[in-house]
Structure 1
Amino acid sequence: MFDYANIKHMLFDIEDIAHALSNMCRFNGHTNKFYSVAQHSVLVSELVPEEHALAALLHDAAEAYCGDMVSPLKQLLPVYQSIHTTIEQNLYRSVGVQWPVHACVKDADIKMLATEVRDLMTPNPAHWAFISDQVPCEEIIHPLPPMGAKELFLDRYFSLQAKAAALAANA
């Protein structure tokens, strides 16, 4: 249960986030294969410097509570944007991640978008003109089923948390 009227006092559970994101298809399901928000998040986290990897992994985590909405529609819904932002701020604070995130996270997200368009979408240059200058990743995306994406997300999360704890212990 999530109390949208009391977001600041909500406790976030990484297992719930991983489960929801792994069952959520990117692009509102308009891909040529099922491809989860969880897998997307892991791939974005692998494109940034390690000190920003946790922020990148969690950059879509608020969608576990308010859904993944396609960007053109999201732009038309300021109340949704406000709720999403509040969830994101509180979620980041709860895991000790700075908000707003570093610009490299957005850059990596756009690079991954270009890769996803190449690998998972029906080609239509008119729809994707705004990323025509982006160079996709060299690696081809191989979509995972939901349980595989969930495990990948959780492995990445716990690995990053362990590294952060080790760095803090040595400081």
Structure 2
Amino acid sequence: MTSFAQVLAQFDPSVPFVAPANWQQGRTIFGGISAALSLEAVLRERPQGFPPFKSAQVSFIGPVTQAQTFDTSVLREGRSVTSVSVDCKSGDELALRTTLLFAQPRASRITHEAWGCPLLEEASRYTTLALDSTIAPACAFNFEMRPAGGSRQLCLQ
């Protein structure tokens, strides 16, 4: 089984990427790996770096059925904000389009206290979610999931 860390270590944005079998999800690959590789392609293209990463808009357009290529483009680079797009193609077909935003922190007079992050303990303090291999996609086993800081989802049949 190829871990996420191994995928990143082996990834070269200048070479078409073929996902390992354990990242398959039906006839395509797990979309999160394509989104993560889009960000990685941008970061590797510019070794001098960007301002801190702030947000991503990811559009899943079509299935990944062939090797992926990643085409990055800086849309705008201002004094404090840089916007970058990434087109991920599967063969000749667009599979994913990502817009990434990098921005310097700014001081604000506005204080947001309505939404706080839950206080969490160390990850090892939470129980690992057991997955049912008869219903969970194979790619789900690439993650160690530990529900924390909220209620678990419930599905009734």
Larger relative contact order (C-alpha < 8 A, sep ≥ 6)? Answer: 1
> Whose strand proportion is higher, 1 or 2?
2
TM-score for the superposition, normalised by structure 1: 0.24
**Structure of greater Rg:** 2
> Whose helix proportion is higher, 1 or 2?
1
